[in-house]
Amino acid sequence: MMIDDNAQILRIYKDYNGLCTATAKEIAEQLQRKTDSVLGLPTGKTPMGVYQELIRMHREEDLDFSKATTFNLDEYLGLSPQHALSYGHFMEVHFFSQVNLQRKNIHLLNGMADNPEVECREFDAAIERAGGIDLMLLGIGRNGHIGFNEPQSSLTLATHVARLDDSTRDLYAGEFGSREKVPEQALAMGVLPIFKSRRILLAANGSAKKKVIGEMLSGKVDTLLPASLLQLHGNLTVLVDAEAAPE
């Protein structure tokens, strides 16, 4: 990929606030253009400020989610949405309970599904039925994962049960109390539904993400750095704060 292309893909903001405001504005504009937009949503520290800004816009500027549909990227296998560390709980607290999305339009992978394989197939079918994702918001792991598509010799296209990388479990050991308590597996939206999204925004902040942002935009594609695949997507924007901006 040419440097010039990268210049268009990458947008650098002064700080986390600027990054979140700009990212939320993109999502709001998508919803204003198409009120029944289908959004792909992440969890993590990065999007928290984006959700806060969207909630503010909903309260103060009447940003309307009533016709929108959402699909979340992932969930830990074995955690119910009531579990304080589940992604379902995260989304409920930080976003869903504070905007006017209709419950029937919210799609979360169920970490307690009797048959996780069936759960994944039904999730992909629901994305298809909704007409695919209009706007996908992604974070990025320090190891280059997107959702829970971890670095591997091959990546899985469909939504699937994924094994968490050792480095990912190490990172979340503090949150869960110990590394052993971090679930070993998760349900992860596959690379294909992510890739078929008509527009992808990837947001990253902080110096811990600087290296991986440089690598994902290096002009090389490597399944050991899943986010690097996104360089092939025709409508990707990577939004970073100054600390996460590559050299």
- The residue among 57 and 91 lying less far from ligand GLP, judged by its C-beta, is 91
- Per-residue mark of binding to ligand GLP, 132-151 (x: CB under 6 A): -------xxx-----xx---
Q: What is the DSSP string of 171-209?
A: HHHHHHSSGGGS-SEEEE--HHHHHT-SEEEEEE-SGGG
Burial of 23 (0-12, 13-18, 19+ CB in 10 A): buried
Catalytic annotation present for 115: no
- Per-residue mark of binding to ligand GLP, 165-194 (x: CB under 6 A): ---x--------------------------
Q: List the catalytic residue out of 105, 143, 165, 243.
A: 143
Contact 125, 30 (CB under 8 A): no
Distance of alpha carbon 45 from alpha carbon 66, whole angstroms: 25
Minimum Å gap between C-beta 3 and ligand GLP is 26
Catalytic annotation present for 150: yes
Minimum Å gap between C-beta 33 and ligand GLP is 25
- The residue among 46 and 231 lying less far from ligand GLP, judged by its C-beta, is 46
Catalytic annotation present for 17: no
Distance of alpha carbon 35 from alpha carbon 82, whole angstroms: 30
Contact 122, 66 (CB under 8 A): no
Paired tokens of 15: 């700080």
Minimum Å gap between C-beta 41 and ligand GLP is 9
Terminal-to-terminal C-alpha distance of the chain: 16
Q: Which residue has the tokens 């209709």?
A: 102
- The residue among 27 and 140 lying less far from ligand GLP, judged by its C-beta, is 140
Q: List the catalytic residue out of 75, 134, 150, 241.
A: 150
- The residue among 44 and 78 lying less far from ligand GLP, judged by its C-beta, is 44
- The residue among 42 and 151 lying less far from ligand GLP, judged by its C-beta, is 42
Half-sphere exposure of 21 (CA within 13 A, CB side): 7
Catalytic annotation present for 105: no
Q: List the catalytic residue out of 26, 72, 119, 145.
A: 145
Give the catalytic positions in this structure.
74, 143, 145, 150
The binding site for ligand GLP (CB under 6 A) comprises 42-46, 73-74, 139-141, 147-148, 168
